[in-house]
Structure 1
Amino acid sequence: MKLRISEAVELANSIAQLSGYNKIVTDGGKNRPVQVPYDFTGATRFSLAKNFRTLRTEVQAYEAARNEVVRANDDRGRMEEEISALLRTEIEVDLVILREADFKTELNPIPPTVLSDLMLIME
């Protein structure tokens, strides 16, 4: 699959947000937040982990290149142009494509902004 680096960064960030969500519970008369894991099958979790690992490698390479651009440039305008060019760079990545049903959106309160990014890996 071809992605721009900017899409890879956004997708990696969205996958990272799928560990769970905060829910307020009452415990001993006091409200406190707890982390509730999303309800995914083991196969879905494994596919997300594989995708995250693949994307993380690309994101780390981008971050290293970006840091080098920042170090090498005193001209802010030129630096921003070079970073923008890096973000537009297309990469080829081997990602697992999931079905919309794998995300169980009727059970899992995944934010629409996260779902929007995840559409890149949905059939």
Structure 2
Amino acid sequence: MYSFLIERNGISYDPFMSRVNRGWSMEKAATKPLPTAEERRQQSQHATNHLRVYPVEYIQLANQNGIPYHTFFNRAKNCGWDMDRAATEPLWTREQMGRLGAQRLREREGDWAAQIFGKQQMSRKG
């Protein structure tokens, strides 16, 4: 009986069964038309906005400053930066990252080279 409705309304078997499995009545699943591409896009955009963690304004600001979304996200979430700083501070060069890493290591461990190699005094023989 429903196969006639499915064929007449242009709904294939998979979407019909998916709807039934989600709790739709068989009649509603067979008669309600499939969403258009525009409706699917709007639903997707609505879901994205609903689940968004960071405001669109900050994501756009980061993009305008040449900061990729994943860098912005990492700075805000993992580094503990506030969103304004994460969206506006320029990207660091590899040299800057190395210098900062070495500085933090010295702050945390002290003179690590002396610990490993021992202090060596150079004497001049002349």
TM-score class normalised by the smaller sequence: under 0.3
Which structure features the higher share of strand residues?
1
**TM-score normalized by the length of structure 1:** 0.21
Whose relative contact order is higher, 1 or 2, with alpha carbons under 8 Å and at least 6 apart?
1
**TM-score normalized by the length of structure 2:** 0.21
User: Quick check: which has more Rg, 1 or 2?
Assistant: 2
Which structure features the higher share of helix residues?
2
